[in-house]
Amino acid sequence: MGTDIMGTVEVRNPFHDPKWSWSEPWTPCMNVSLLVRWPLYCAYGCLFGVRNYQDWKPIAPQRGLPEDVSQQVRNDFDEAAAIDGAVGGETWVGWDELKDLDMSVTAPVSGVLIQTWSDGCGTEWTVHDTWPEKVGRSPLGPSPVGAPFGKWQVGEVTYEFKKLDRRHVLGPGTGWDKAFDVLRALAAIHGDDGVRLVVGFVG
C-alpha cells in the first residue's frame, strides 16, 4: 500500500480579532493536493520523516496539528481519520522554516543512482554500500562507498551516480519547487511567518 499526503496551506488571518470567539488566527487557503500531485517518498522523508528510507534528518517531524489550527482543517483531519484508520502522521511547517533551506544538505547514504533509457524513461535507487543487483558492477568502482560521482553508458541505458541532497528531492523538476513558489508568493502578502503547510499522511 502506498502513502499519500493530505492537508492544507493555511495563512494568518489578517482580520483576526481575539475579542470575537468565532475569529480564528489562521484560515485555510488551498488544499495541498493542488500543489503536490504525486507521491514522492524521498521528499516526505526529507521534510516530515515519513517513509524516511534515506535517513534524512527531517525538518518538521511528528509535530501534530498546530494548537491554533483552523477549525475547518481540524475537522478535515478528524473526518478523514474516522473514514480511514490509516490516516496519521500529522505535522506542520512554516514558510519561515523553508524559505532559506540549505539545499546542499545530504542524506547519510552513498548517493542516488539514476537509470535513464533512450526514450527518457527511467528509475532511480538510493545507494548505500552496494550497487543495485539489476545494475551489477559499476565502472566507478566495486562499491559505491568512496566511488566518485559520474556517468556511464550500457547500450541504450545511461547511469548517473549523484550526490543525494535536498536539491535532488525538493529542487527543480520535483514538483516541490512549484509548491515552494506558491508559498513564497503567499508569504509576500502574509509574511514569512504567516504561511504554513499543515499535513498528514494516508497509508
The residue ranges of every structural domain in the chain are 4-103+167-202, 111-163
- For the segment 9-45, what is each residue's pLDDT rounded down to a tens digit? 999 998 877 767 677 999 999 999 898 877 789 999 9
For the chain, give the percent of residues with pLDDT over 70.
98
- Whole-angstrom distance, CA of residue 70 vs CA of residue 161: 44
Beta strands in 80-156 (DSSP E): 87-94, 111-116, 122-127, 150-154
| SS3 track for 11-31 | EECCCCCCCCCCCCCEEEEEE
- Whole-angstrom distance, CA of residue 203 vs CA of residue 5: 9
pLDDT of residue 18: 72
Query: What single-letter amino acid sits at 77?
Result: F
Residue 85 has pLDDT above 70, yes or no: yes
If you ran DSSP here, which 8-state letter would residue 138 be given? B
pLDDT of residue 136: 86
Grid cell of 4 as nine digits: 499519500
Residue 127 has pLDDT above 70, yes or no: yes
- For the segment 49-77, what is each residue's pLDDT rounded down to a tens digit? 999 999 999 999 999 999 999 999 999 99
